[in-house]
Amino acid sequence: MTYTHSAVPGEAEALFEQAGALVPALAAREAAATAARDIRRETIDDYHRAGILRVLQPRRFDGHQAPFDLFSRIV
């Protein structure tokens, strides 16, 4: 996967790549998460490690302050 945006630093590219790397693990957990109607703790931990939960968060609050189009492509 590649994310390109002329006004985005390399940090956004790294976030996009980390999110893409989670796809196999998320796909493997899909059936169990659907059956339980809950998101597994491992998934939330993966999101935290990848920084996905801080994509839109302002830098002054220790976030990435990335553009919304990056967030929407990750989702």
Cβ–Cβ under 8 Å, residues 39 and 2:
no
Give CA–CA dist 40/11, Å, rounded.
Answer: 27
pLDDT-based confidence at residue 4 (cuts at 50, 70, 90): low
pLDDT > 50? residue 28: yes
Q: Tell me, which fold does domain 10-74 have in CATH?
A: Butyryl-Coa Dehydrogenase, subunit A; domain 1 (1.10.540)
The residue length of the chain stands at: 75
CB atoms within 10 A of CB 14: 14
Give CA–CA dist 18/11, Å, rounded.
Answer: 11
Task: Check residue 9 and give its pLDDT.
Answer: 62
Model confidence over 50-67: pLDDT tens digits? 988 999 999 999 998 888
Q: Where are the domains of the chain?
A: 10-74
pLDDT > 80? residue 5: no
